[in-house]
Homo-oligomer: A and B are copies of this chain.
Amino acid sequence: MDLSSLQPRLLLGPGPSPVSDRILAALARPTLGHLDPQFLAVLDDVNEGLRQAFGTRNETTFPISGTGSAGMEAAMVNLLEPGDTAIVGVNGVFGGRLAEVARRLGAEVVQVDAPWGRTLPEEALIEASRAHPEARLLAVVHAETSTGAWQPLAEVGAHLAGMETLFVVDAVTSLGGVPVEVDAHGVDVCYSGTQKCLGVPPGLSPVTFSPRALERIRTRGTPCPSWYLDVSLIAGYLGAERRYHHTAPINLIYALHEALSEVREEGLEQRFQRHLEVGRRLQSELAGRGFTSFTDPEHRLPQLTAVHLPEARDEGPLRRRLLDQFAVEVGGGLGPASGRIWRIGLMGHGARHESVDRLLEAVDHLMRAAA
């Protein structure tokens, strides 16, 4: 097959999000070596841009060479040792995945559950922390991509500041779309993905580690079981020594550099405001058309909208026609929500009124045809 035959789509699913021409052009810049001083300057710039996006002064802030799931694994594999207790909030696929990753590393997982579509009560997380003061970490998902739930973090962060337990936050779908306040909320390890609200093709996972997290890593009793994701080794490449660890994904890092320039030019606050306005408009327009929220209305993310279809219509065929006839991609449900919902992302460059207009026009057409 020929790549030139591929039809572009408007990406309004749960990620990847649309990539701007400017970022695609950056991606296609000539490849440099990973030890070339020119490239190292690009990487330093990227890391500084990520600090701003994460709201942190953590020195150890950089893109992991893998997707958001690699960032999740990096957080857990660096912090946990067999027998450690890990408190994990589970209210969707990604919380469940955090728990699974921790179990595979030999941790005792204390699971705090909430129904899909709802957030985890902060008091329940704090209670679990009080019951398990020995816990190595407490992990929650800030923006649950499987449900659209927007998890509050402030009280848990304030509580954990006085504990040994480290605070781990999954910001895959939140970074660049809604405020992620790593330092203000006392988050020790936070990871994200580039293909959501930053608008970069998938393949990188921005992460940040606090000094407290690094101290924990330094005092491990066993080496990190993953050589590839071992932050103490990667730090040797990021730091002044520039020690070779693995070959950085040069061109994706160009693309991330360009995206962070876009973020700086737009301004983080304006960017959050744009995501909020456009997402809330979509949610209101869909409600007017009989779509009902899958997510607790009090905690809906603006950038990821999970909805039931009107009159319990079968979502799969409509979603496929949206893709085939209108070239608009939205996502279906995962796990227990499979076949029951649409997940609509308005992330990064997708968070524009034109996206909402085009989606609604197509939806109206399909609904009339199906009526």
Contact = CB atoms under 8 A, between A and B. Distances in A.
A249 B201 contact: yes
Interface of A: 1, 3, 6-9, 11, 13, 15-16, 18-19, 24-34, 36, 38-39, 41-42, 45, 65-70, 72-73, 77, 97, 100-101, 103-106, 193, 195, 201-203, 223-228, 244-252, 254, 257-258, 323, 329, 334
A6 B19 contact: no
Contacts of A26: 3
A277 to B, nearest CB: 24
A244 B42 contact: no
Interface SS majority for chain A: loop
A104 B226 contact: yes
Nearest to A199: B31
Contacts of A334: 244
A247 to B, nearest CB: 4
A25 B30 CA distance: 11
Given A27-B251, A31-B11, A105 B18 contact: no
A257 B202 CA distance: 16
Contacts of A28: 24-25, 27-28
A252 B6 CA distance: 15
Contacts of A32: 6, 8-9, 11, 16
B246 A69 contact: yes
A203 B33 contact: no
Given A38-B6, A73-B228, A252-B203, A1 B33 contact: no
Nearest to A7: B38
A275 to B, nearest CB: 19
Nearest to A5: B38
Copies of the protein in its oligomer = 2
Given A6-B42, A24-B31, 5 more contacts: A19-B30, A24-B251, A72-B228, A226-B226, A244-B334
B65 A104 contact: no
B38 A225 contact: no
6 A-B pairs closest in CB distance = A203-B249, A28-B28, A69-B246, A201-B251, A8-B30, A24-B28
Given A19-B30, A29-B6, A31-B18, A249 B252 contact: yes
A273 to B, nearest CB: 25
A250 B66 contact: no
A251 B11 CA distance: 14
20 contacts: A1-B41, A11-B31, A13-B33, A15-B247, A16-B32, A19-B251, A24-B29, A27-B28, A28-B28, A36-B329, A65-B70, A68-B247, A69-B247, A73-B226, A73-B227, A100-B227, A104-B225, A106-B225, A193-B247, A202-B248
Contacts of A13: 33
Nearest to A70: B228
Nearest to A29: B3
B258 A3 contact: yes
A67 B246 contact: yes
